[in-house]
Amino acid sequence: MLGTIGHADLVGFTGSYTPFITPLLISPLGRMIGKVANVFLGPGPTIVDGALDFLSVLQAVSKGDNLTQQANPMTYRHLVEKHRRVRFLVGENDPLVKPAAAIACAKLFPDGEAYVVPGLGHGNRSFGPDFVEHVRHFIGTQLGDWKW
């Protein structure tokens, strides 16, 4: 197992990513304020509607209900054999998959490790090689001796 594209722990991801004011924003009062904002943004669906719907999904996933547990790769971590390496590659400046969350997830495996790339964001960079170059190096060094 190399890791996942995205985040291996959905509940941990949404917990680290969901703004602390989400319950207020998606409450009836927050949605009413969103409707008032929509009046000023014009007719049709707006970014406010999309943002509130997205926050509602994040809030639901962060609670770890039954469907979330079924979709969460961490639910099946017991199936990873102890001798298998589990590796995560994350950008130091990634605003979505926070390095601390990837490191915490990697620690749940006997041979788990997270590699944090300086200057790399979520598919973008402030300096150094781009994401594709990091992935090539990462796969070459982490899977060079990989066998079925």
In the predicted model, is pLDDT for residue 3 greater than 50?
no
More confident residue, 148 or 106: 106
Q: If you write DSSP's letter for every residue of 27-88 in order, what string do you get?
A: SHHHHHHHHHHHHHH-SS--HHHHHHHHHHHHHHHHTT-HHHHHH-GGGGGGGS-TTS-EEE
- Has this prediction a pTM greater than 0.95? no
- Distance between CA atoms of residues 35 and 117, nearest Å: 41
pLDDT score of 5: 53
Between CA 44 and CA 10 the distance in angstroms is: 31
Q: Write out pLDDT tens, residues 11-27.
A: 877 777 777 788 888 88
